[in-house]
Structure 1
Amino acid sequence: MKQLLEFIPLILFFAVYKLVGIREAALTLIIATVIQLIVLKLKYGKIEKQQLIMGVAVVFFGTLTAYFNELEFLKWKVTVVYAVFALALLISQFGFKKPLIKQLLGKEIQLPHAVWEKLNLAWVGFFLLCMLVNIIISRYFSDDIWVDFKTFGILGMTLVATLLSGVYIYRYLPKTDE
């Protein structure tokens, strides 16, 4: 339910962009994101840092997009958010010696520290890849192609990265005799 709720603003943005235009799509994205954050707070009692960062970025870059009627601001939001995520993972690992991935998932999964570090760096690579692909598509392809990529391409890339992470950590999970 929580994951589905997170995709509703993106789906609404996509539909309104295709049917009406960028200004209305940006306003829809902002309103849907604010409602989403309120629902998450009411239903789960808190808003995760990642969701809050995304929400603030959507409101900031979405407002600029709606005001100037220019998609370029939302294109930069994707780049900036992924750069922030990659930087946070790098700082957690090399600055604090505590991989952020472990802090996020370590309550549910027990893995050796070296595995957490590799997984953390893999997600840094993923965020940097998404950032670079976003820059390339936003610069060299049409706005319509970028919206399709943002809606479906990044979602697909995230699904693949999540599955690969699961395959990687599976061999390090404790084995049970059942």
Structure 2
Amino acid sequence: MKLLFDFFPILLFFIAYKIYGIYAATAVAIGASFIQVALFWMRHRRFENMHLITLGLIGVLGGATLWLQNETFIQWKPTVVNWLFGLAFFASRFIGRKPLVQRMMGAALELPDVIWQRLNSAWALFFIGSGFLNLYVVYNFDTDFWVNFKLFGLMGLTIAFVIGQAFFLVRHMKPQTEGES
């Protein structure tokens, strides 16, 4: 359910694009992001960083798209988001005691420090690479292709990366002994 909630603005953007075009879709995405942040606040009485970052970027880049009637600004949003996440994973190696991925998943997994570092680096590279891939699509394909890539391509790559990560993690997990749960 959380996954659907997190992708709510993207899904509405996709639907609005198919019916009304890029500028209407951009306005819908901006509104959906505001609603997403407000609903999360009303339910949990806190904000989620990812939602706020996305709202800020969609507000600025989406606003520039609408004001200047130039779709390139909204097309840069996935790249900027991915690069910010990549930078956060990379910087976490030097800030704090644990890499970001360990802070996020450490309660569920017990891994050696070197594996946490490798996993963190993989996430950083994945996000940075995804940002460059988005730009490649923006500048080499039409808007229709980019919209489909944004929803299906980037999401598919993320799912494939997570599955690959699971196979990597299985090799490093300690087997449970009899009586452990």
How would you bin the TM-score normalised by the shorter chain? over 0.9
Instruction: Give unmatched runs, 5+ long, in structure 1.
Output: none
Shift of 1:15: 1.1
Confirm whether residue 115 of structure 1 aligns to residue 107 of structure 2.
no
In 1, the alpha carbon distance for the partners of 2:112 and 2:47 equals 29
TM-score, normalising length: structure 1: 0.92
TM-score, normalising length: structure 2: 0.91
Residue 2 of structure 1 aligns with an amino acid whose one-letter code is K
In 2, are the aligned partners of 1:83 and 1:131 still within 8 Å (CA)? yes
2:133 paired residue number: 133
1:34-49 residue pairs with structure 2 within 5 A?
Answer: 34-49=34-49
3-state SS of 1:80 partner: helix
In 2, the alpha carbon distance for the partners of 1:97 and 1:117 equals 11
Shift of 1:75: 1.4
1:88 paired residue number: 88
3-state SS of 1:83 partner: helix
**Percentage of matched positions with identical amino acids:** 33
Residue 138 of structure 1 aligns with an amino acid whose one-letter code is V
In 1, the alpha carbon distance for the partners of 2:47 and 2:110 equals 24
1:51-130 residue pairs with structure 2 within 5 A?
Answer: 51-96=51-96, 98-130=98-130
Tell me how large the CA RMSD over aligned residues is: 1.6
In 2, are the aligned partners of 1:22 and 1:69 still within 8 Å (CA)? no
In 1, the alpha carbon distance for the partners of 2:93 and 2:43 equals 32
In 2, the alpha carbon distance for the partners of 1:143 and 1:103 equals 37
Query: Runs (4+) of structure 1 moved beyond 6 Å?
Result: none
Equivalent residue pairs, number = 178
Residue 6 of structure 1 aligns with an amino acid whose one-letter code is D
Shift of 1:47: 2.4
Shift of 1:29: 0.2
Shift of 1:96: 4.2
Shift of 1:87: 1.1
In 1, are the aligned partners of 2:82 and 2:127 still within 8 Å (CA)? yes
In 2, the alpha carbon distance for the partners of 1:6 and 1:51 equals 8
1:4 paired residue number: 4
3-state SS of 1:70 partner: coil
The C-alpha deviation readout for 1:47-67, integer Å capped at 9, x for no partner, is 222222122111211111122
In 1, the alpha carbon distance for the partners of 2:160 and 2:92 equals 24
Shift of 1:44: 3.1
The C-alpha deviation readout for 1:8-41, integer Å capped at 9, x for no partner, is 1111101111111122111100111111111122
3-state SS of 1:50 partner: helix
Residue 166 of structure 2 aligns with an amino acid whose one-letter code is G
